[in-house]
Structure 1
Amino acid sequence: MRFTDLPLGERPPGRWALAADWIVLDTAQGRRLLHKGEVVIENDRILWVGPRFEGTVSARFDMGAALVAPGFVDLDALSDLDTTLLAHDNWPSEQKGRVWPQSYVDRGPYEMYSPEELAFQKRFAFGQLLLNGITSAAPIASLFYREWGETVAEFTAAADAAEDMGLRVWLGPAYRAGGMVVDGSGKMRAVFDEPRGLQGLENAIGFAQQMQGRDLVSPMLAPDRVETCTATLLKRTMTAAEDLNCPVRLHMAQGQMELQTVLALHGMTAPHWLDSLGCLSPRLLAPHATVATDTDLERYRNNGVTVVHCPLVSTRHGGALRSFAKLRAMGINLAMGTDTAPPDMVLNMAVGLMACRLNDGLESVTSAHMFDAATINGAKALNRDDIGVLRAGAKADIAVFDMNDAYMAPRIDPVQTLILGATGRVTRATIVDGRLSMRDGAVAGIDMAAARAQVQAQFDGLIEKYPERTLGHPPVSQIFPPTFPMMNGD
Structure 2
Amino acid sequence: MTGRTLLSARWVVGHKNGHHVVYENGVVVIQGTDVIHVGLSFDGEVADRIDYGEAIISPGFVDLDALSDLDTTILGYDNRPAWKKGRVWPESYIASGPYEMYSEEELAFQKRHAFAQLIRNGITTALPIASLFYRAWGETVAEFDAAVHAAEQLGLRVYLGPAYRTGGQVTDEQGNIRAVFNEARGLAGLEDARAFAARIDGMASGRIRAMFAPDRIETCTETLLQRTADIADELGAPVRQHCAQSPIELQLVREQHDCGPIDWLKRIGALRQNWLLPHGTYATDAEFALMAEAGATLVHCPLVATRFGGMLRSFAKCRDMGIVIGLGTDTYPADMILNMQMGMMMARQADGLDAVRSEDLFNAATLGGADALRRQDLGRLAPGSKADIAVIDLSARLQTPDPIQTLMTSTSGHDVCDVWIDGRRVMANGVIEEIDERADAAQAQAQYDGLIAKYPDRTVGHPPVEAIFTPSYERIRS
Q: Supply the AA of the counterpart residue of 1:437.
A: V
Q: Which residue of 1 aligns with 2:456?
A: 467
Q: Supply the AA of the counterpart residue of 2:230.
A: T
Q: Which residue of 2 aligns with 1:441?
A: 430
Matches within 5 A, 1:323-338: 323-338=314-329
Matches within 5 A, 1:53-452: 53-215=42-204, 216-405=207-396, 408-452=397-441
Q: Which residue of 2 aligns with 1:485?
A: 474
Q: Distance in 1 between matches of 2:254 and 2:394?
A: 49
Q: Supply the AA of the counterpart residue of 1:82.
A: D
Q: Which residue of 2 aligns with 1:5?
A: none
Q: Distance in 2 between matches of 1:363 and 1:338?
A: 25
Q: Which residue of 2 aligns with 1:8?
A: none
Q: Distance in 1 between matches of 2:201 and 2:345?
A: 40
Q: Supply the AA of the counterpart residue of 2:24.
A: H
* Contact 1:104/1:468, CA 8 A, preserved across alignment: yes
Q: Distance in 2 between matches of 1:161 and 1:409?
A: 36
The alignment's TM-score, normalised by the length of structure 2, stands at: 0.98
Q: Distance in 1 between matches of 2:41 and 2:154?
A: 31
Per-residue deviation, residues 239-283 of structure 1 (Å, max 9, x unmatched)? 000111100000000110101110111100001111000111111
Q: Distance in 2 between matches of 1:34 and 1:70?
A: 13
Post-superposition offset of 1:441? 2.3
Q: Distance in 2 between matches of 1:410 and 1:61?
A: 22
Post-superposition offset of 1:373? 0.3
Structure 1 runs of 4+ aligned residues shifted over 6 Å read: none
- CA gap of 1:458–1:188, structure 2 versus 1, over 3 A, is same
Post-superposition offset of 1:104? 0.5
Q: Distance in 1 between matches of 2:472 and 2:90?
A: 26
Q: Distance in 2 between matches of 1:466 and 1:354?
A: 34
- The 3-state SS of whatever aligns with 1:374 is helix
* Contact 1:166/1:444, CA 8 A, preserved across alignment: no
Post-superposition offset of 1:444? 3.7
Q: Supply the AA of the counterpart residue of 1:18.
A: L
Per-residue deviation, residues 172-196 of structure 1 (Å, max 9, x unmatched)? 0000000111123432111000000
- The 3-state SS of whatever aligns with 1:471 is coil
Post-superposition offset of 1:51? 2.0
- The 3-state SS of whatever aligns with 1:325 is helix
Post-superposition offset of 1:213? 2.3
Q: Distance in 2 between matches of 1:450 and 1:249?
A: 33
* Contact 2:60/2:125, CA 8 A, preserved across alignment: yes
Post-superposition offset of 1:362? 0.6
Per-residue deviation, residues 435-460 of structure 1 (Å, max 9, x unmatched)? 11112221242212210001101000
Q: Distance in 1 between matches of 2:106 and 2:167?
A: 25
Q: Distance in 1 between matches of 2:5 and 2:14?
A: 17
Q: List alignment gaps of at least 5 residues for structure 1.
A: 1-11
Q: Distance in 1 between matches of 2:373 and 2:97?
A: 38
- The 3-state SS of whatever aligns with 2:354 is helix
Q: Supply the AA of the counterpart residue of 1:431.
A: W
Q: Which residue of 1 aligns with 2:27?
A: 38
Residue 10 of structure 2, aligned match among 21, 24, 31:
21
* Contact 1:41/1:47, CA 8 A, preserved across alignment: yes
* Contact 1:149/1:200, CA 8 A, preserved across alignment: yes
Q: Distance in 2 between matches of 1:249 and 1:484?
A: 40
Post-superposition offset of 1:13? 6.4
Are 2:41 and 1:52 aligned? yes
Q: Distance in 1 between matches of 2:330 and 2:2?
A: 36
CA RMSD of aligned residues (A): 1.1
The alignment's TM-score, normalised by the length of structure 1, stands at: 0.96
Q: Distance in 1 between matches of 2:355 and 2:269?
A: 33
Q: Supply the AA of the counterpart residue of 1:272.
A: D
